[in-house]
Amino acid sequence: MTPRDRRLWIDLTAADYLVALEVEDFAGQDRLWALAATDPELEAAFHEIHDGLIEEAQAAAVTPTIDAVRAAVLKHLPGAELDAPTGPVTVAMVARELFERPPGRLTPEAAVLNERLKAAAAELPADLGLVTLTAWLRSTFGDAPPEYAKAFREAAFRLRMRVNSDLEVQVAARRATPPKNGGP
């Protein structure tokens, strides 16, 4: 077996293990752990799966609390800026913006999609034209209701403007900082 074939076998076996976990196939889990008992690389792959599942569970436990606190702050302080956005605007940033400042009432399917997108780290495309953005959302994340795509686009523009504005302020502030030696 070549190293590439071995890596593929480990990946496929790990995928089988993940499926066995998800469907609660205890006999399958036992069989796979018996294989892992004689293969340190496979055992390490199984431990990586468990580490990833623990991280996901911890994030899932914290996210509702963070969202509840954010919602309460925004309800009582509607103009509050909780996080100054920096860097490239991501799908998750836009989804969080829509969660914090919903455009009227989102349909249930739009709300479900928005929840899913709050974890998407993908950077937005350069072209935010409605047709282009809608096609990109559909091809990347599945169908998006038209009203959601429009609201997503508007939130993306707002975020891009805020990021660019914050960057300009930071650059101007750096230039305006007096020299440390007290000179001109």
33 token code pair: 């752990």
Instruction: Specify the 3-state DSSP secondary structure of 127.
Output: coil
Residue 21 near residue 56, CB atoms below 8 Å? no
Local confidence band at 180 (pLDDT 50, 70, 90 cut-offs): low
DSSP labels, 20-62: HHHTT-HHHHHHHHHHHTT-HHHHHHHHHHHHHHHHHHHHHHH
What ranges make up the beta strands (E) of 72-137?
A: none
Q: What is the amino acid identity at position 182?
A: G
Given pLDDT bands bounded at 50, 70 and 90, which one contains residue 48?
very high
State the Cα–Cα distance between residues 96 and 10, nearest whole angstrom.
37
Considering the chain, what percentage of its residues have pLDDT values greater than 70? 84
Domain ranges of the chain: 3-68, 85-176
Model pTM greater than 0.95? no
Query: Given this model, what pLDDT does residue 41 score?
Result: 94
Structure tokens that stand for 109 in this block: 């399917």
Tokens of 139: 């091809």
What contacts 7, CB < 8 A, 6 or more positions away?
none
Grade residue 167 by pLDDT with cuts at 50, 70 and 90: very low
Residue 176: pLDDT band with limits 50, 70, 90 = very low
Check if the beta carbon of residue 105 is closer than 8 Å to that of residue 140. no
Average pLDDT, the chain: 82
Helix 108-117 vs helix 130-141: crossing angle, to nearest 10: 70
Q: Does the pLDDT at position 183 exceed 60?
A: no
Does residue 139 register a pLDDT over 60? yes
Residue 90's DSSP bridge partners are: 123
For residue 169, pLDDT over 60 is answered with no
One-letter amino acid at 63 equals T
Hunting for tokens 């940033």 — which residue is that?
Answer: 93
Say what the pLDDT of residue 172 is: 46
pLDDT of 10 higher than 70: yes
- Please give the average per-residue pLDDT across 106-132, as a whole number: 87
pLDDT band, residue 170 (cuts 50/70/90): very low
Give the torsion through C-alpha atoms of 70, 73, 75, 79, to 10 deg. Answer: -100
Q: What mean pLDDT do residues 85-113 have?
A: 83
Dist CA 93 CA 83 (whole Å): 10
Q: What is the mean pLDDT of residues 39-67?
A: 84
